[in-house]
Amino acid sequence: MTPTRPQTSTRPNRRGPAFEQRRREIAAAAALVFAEKGYAGATNRDIAAAAGISPALIYWYYASKEDLFAAVFELLAPFQAMRGALEAIESLPVEEALARLADGVLAILRQPEHVAIFRLGLTEAIRFPEPARRLGALIARHPVGGLAAYFERQIAAGRIRPVDPWLTAQAFLGGLIGYALRKHLVRHDDLQAVDDADMAATMAGLFARGLLREPGHAGAAQGDSDGSDR
């Protein structure tokens, strides 16, 4: 039998890596409890027992149960990893950049721990308005917002057409995430034989052909402000 970690009520300073590491540990423990008992059924006592702390100490790290639920996705879900993938493609040609990004996103989304977190989000967050709202804001801020900013920079440099960067980011990431959820979460039969690399290349090629300027086209994006090049 695994010994239970002794509980502690010590309140560490709310600054520095030790505090952030403890927040992550509590979020990881909460993820297991939420997955087992659901958002409504999980209690602070359950989460504290899993994390090895007193129930009151949870509020030193998180303002509320909703805050803790959102942290499960912010700290453990692949949004931060997606941001790292975006930073790695900045200097690449657009089609190669999108292909690498798609490869990276799909590699992240097929990891079992991330599949489990997405399952939790789909089954629980949508049932509870406030956690669902916070999760939606998190998605908009990290993967979608980061890719939209990348498209904005490409437009400003005259490398792609002057499209709506936010809608384009939504469409690109939405297609990838929808495919990943169907394949790795729902496990639809029609996708089990599909190679993720083929899907990444297909998505990147389709979007690049729609975004890139025609060969020989010169001029900055500002010159296309009338939208005639869309």
Q: Give the Cα separation of 76 and 84 in Å (integer).
A: 14
What are the residue boundaries of the structural domains of the chain, listed by start? 17-71, 77-213
State mean pLDDT over 102-128: 77
State mean pLDDT over 160-168: 94
Q: Which CATH class is domain 77-213?
A: mainly alpha
Residue 128: pLDDT over 80: no
User: What is the pLDDT of the chain when averaged over all its residues?
Assistant: 79
Report pLDDT for 156. Answer: 93
Report pLDDT for 15. Answer: 65
Report pLDDT for 142. Answer: 67
- Is residue 211 within 8 A of residue 163, CB to CB? The reply is yes
Q: Is the domain covering 17-71 a CATH 1.10.10.60 domain?
A: yes
- Is residue 120 within 8 A of residue 135, CB to CB? The reply is no
State mean pLDDT over 2-25: 64
